[in-house]
Amino acid sequence: MRLSEILRLVYLNLIQNKFKVILTSIGIVVGSATIMMVIAIGTGGREEVAEQFKNLNAGAIDITYENAASFSGMFVAGDSGGGSSSVTAAFNEMPSGGGGYGGGRGMGGDFGGFSFFGSGQSGADDRINQEDVTLTTDDMEDLQVFVPGVSDVTISYSANASVEGGTMEAASYYTIAGVQSNYAEMSNLELAIGDFLTDEENESKEKVCVLGMTAAKAIFGSAYDAYDSVLYIDDRPYVVTGVLSEMGTVASGISPDTAIFIPYETGIKYITGDSISPTITVIAEDVNLVDQVIANVETVLADSYPNTEFTVSDAGSKMEAASASNETLTLLLIAMAIIVFIVGGIGIMNVLFVSVKEHTNEIGILKAIGCSRRDILLEFLLEASCISLIGAVIGVLLALGITPLVELFSVRVSLSVIGAVLSLLFGVITGSVFGFYPAYKASRLIPVVALNQE
């Protein structure tokens, strides 16, 4: 029989059993929608990671200190990888520790625990007893001078403060970032209007600020209105000397779009006092030197702060960790989609078996009047494929429909033609694979037996 005629028969069967077709295809609908959403969410996640890190200098290394109260959690973070390493300079002073700087990086980063030297309890006690440390501009200068392979160093901190002014009717809290003049260049920040903070403004502790684009729009309505205006941070007036372009990235733990940047020293004098936890950012001259620079940074800091642990993380590892996390989520969703497809496929197989049973007499008639095994196999297989295709198309449409809902939960969804084609393909393949066996059984029916089936 011609393929076109078989397709015509399949079409007749499908339109005469619309409800059955819809019910049968539900598994494929869900499976296809899941596959499409998995691909879209996976792609969206990758794009988000890429966007978050697009302005991040690959050679950037952040050094922070967290006090003993929060140490335990930080240690776990450093120990589990992801580019952060917890450094304990105190190793040099432990009873069993050797001399020199190398021990800090080696134990905190590579061996991942204090038990190498003795009991874990002993190490924990040391950590709890360590001094409360605040990184300073002196530390920054030490790193600039003593660590080879460093192209630039800066120090920054962030705090929340009450902001008034512009078109705002009431005070709001904003992230205030105390930074130095080189912060903008090191974090690849671009200015939409005006200039970034200068060394002179920092040294003279001037009350000036640069706004992120989102903050400028929220406070003044636009970047143009914000420029050269005055706003009040903790009731003190600051002149807006510049507004950043929209960045969408996070640098040194600060989201530039929503932050207000002020000179480092100005912030300490008027807003935070000495109660800050600054981050020193070091830029390695060469990305390949990052590990070496980290080791040297840790060595220099261990010399300045014995018995103190710092968190050192580099941009590349942050990206890897974010990507790994995203891939894990994608794998989980793919596993879910596969399960849905298998369940959907079994559903199709069941319905087709019932269909073969229901149509056994008709198959007998067709065989009696000369329909070949191939034609019967093709007819049932194409029926399964068409049901799957219909399900897959509905699934793709469903995915398109639920995308806005998913985005409401702040999940980035990046729909693509490839995703749609793949989900259609997966749907049709699943239906065809699971539909083959019932179709094969139908084609092998003995004419006289099939014909006498009630």
Partner 1 sequence: MITMKNINKGYMLGEEKLPILKNIDFHVERGEYVAILGPSGSGKTTLMNIIGCMDVMDSGEYYLDGMAIHDTSEDRLTDVRNNKIGFIFQNYQLIPTYNVMQNIIMPLLMRGMNHKEAEEQCSETIRLLGLDHRIGHRPSELSGGQKQRVSIARALVGKPAILLADEPTGALDQSSGKDVLKLFQELNEMGNTIVMITHDLNVAQSAKRIVRIVDGQLFE
Nearer to partner 1, 203 or 358 (CB): 358
Task: Give the nearer residue to partner 1 in terms of CB position, either 5 or 141.
Answer: 5
The residue among 216 and 371 lying less far from partner 1, judged by its C-beta, is: 371
* Cα separations in angstroms, 101 against 32, 63, 248, 298, 300: 57, 17, 38, 8, 8
Query: What is the C-alpha to C-alpha distance for residues 372 and 444, in angstroms, rounded to an integer?
Result: 10
User: Which of 16, 410 has the CB closer to partner 1?
Assistant: 16
The Cα–Cα gap between 420 and 40 comes to 9
Rounded to whole angstroms, the Cα distance separating 416 from 46 reads 14
Residues 34 and 336 sit within 8 Å (Cβ to Cβ): yes
- Burial class, 167, CB count within 10 angstroms (exposed 0-12 / middle 13-18 / buried 19+): exposed
Report residue 427 as tokens: 């749907």
Which of 240, 367, 387, 390 forms a contact with partner 1 (CB under 8 A)? 367
> Contacts from 68-72 at CB under 8 Å and sequence distance 24+?
68/127, 68/128, 68/129, 68/130, 68/132, 71/127, 71/128, 71/309, 72/124
Q: What is the CA radius of gyration of the chain?
A: 32
For partner 1, which is the closer residue by CB, 54 or 373? 373
Interface with partner 1 (CB under 8 A), residue from 22, 365, 400, 422: 365
309: helix, strand or coil: strand
Task: Select 112 or 447, whichever has its Cβ closest to partner 1.
Answer: 447
What distance in Å separates the CA atoms of residue 184 and residue 182, rounded to the nearest whole number? 6
The full DSSP string for 86-112 is: EEEGGGGGSTT--SSSHHHHIIIIII-
Among 115, 172, 372, 416, binds partner 1 (CB under 8 A): 372
Q: Which of residues 204-233 bind partner 1 (CB under 8 A)?
A: none
112 phi and psi, to 5 degrees? 65, 30
Among 145, 324, 346, 368, binds partner 1 (CB under 8 A): 368
Out of 269, 288, 373, 405, the residue judged to bind partner 1 by CB under 8 A: 373
Which of 133, 153, 366, 439 is the binder for partner 1 (CB under 8 A)? 366
Binding segment for partner 1 among 41-49, 312-320, 422-430, 445-453 (CB under 8 A)? 445-453
Q: Which stretch binds partner 1 (CB under 8 A): 94-102, 129-137, 157-165, 358-366?
A: 358-366
Show the site string, 379-418: x = touches partner 1 by CB under 8 A, - = not: ----------------------------------------
Q: Cβ closer to partner 1: 236 or 373?
A: 373
**Residue with smaller CB distance to partner 1, 14 or 77:** 14
The one-letter code for the residue type at 359 is H
Which of 145, 339, 354, 448 contacts partner 1 by CB under 8 A? 448
Among 369, 404, 409, 417, the residue binding partner 1 under the rule CB under 8 A is 369
CB 435 within 8 A of CB 388: yes
β-pair type (230-233, 309-314): unpaired
Answer yes or no: are the C-beta atoms of 248 and 52 closer than 8 Å.
yes
Complex with partner 1: residue 8 or 269, whichever CB lies closer? 8
Say if residues 438 and 349 touch (Cβ distance below 8 Å): yes
Task: Rule CB under 8 A: choose which of 126, 375, 379, 383 binds partner 1.
Answer: 375
Q: Which of residues 2-41 bind partner 1 (CB under 8 A)?
A: 2, 4-5, 8, 12-13, 16
Instruction: Look at the block and give the residue holding tokens 């198309």.
Output: 393
370 binds partner 1 (CB under 8 A): yes
Q: Which is nearer to partner 1, 289 or 377 (CB)?
A: 377
451 binding partner 1? (CB under 8 A)? yes
Among 361, 405, 407, 416, binds partner 1 (CB under 8 A): 361
Number of residues that bind partner 1 (CB under 8 A): 25
Least spacing, CB of residue 452 vs partner 1, in Å? 9
Task: Kindly indicate which of the ranges 69-77, 102-110, 180-188, 356-364 contains the residues binding partner 1, using the contact rule CB under 8 A.
Answer: 356-364
- The residues, any chain, with a CB within 8 Å of residue 210's CB and separated by 6 or more, are 184, 191, 194, 196, 197, 240, 241, 242, 243, 244, 260, 261, 262
Q: Is 70 in the site for partner 1 (CB under 8 A)?
A: no
Of 328 and 452, CB closest to partner 1: 452
| Segment contacting partner 1 by CB under 8 A, of 36-44, 91-99, 123-131, 360-368 | 360-368
Catalog residues that contact partner 1 under the rule CB under 8 A.
Answer: 1-2, 4-5, 8, 12-13, 16, 361-362, 364-373, 375, 446-448, 451
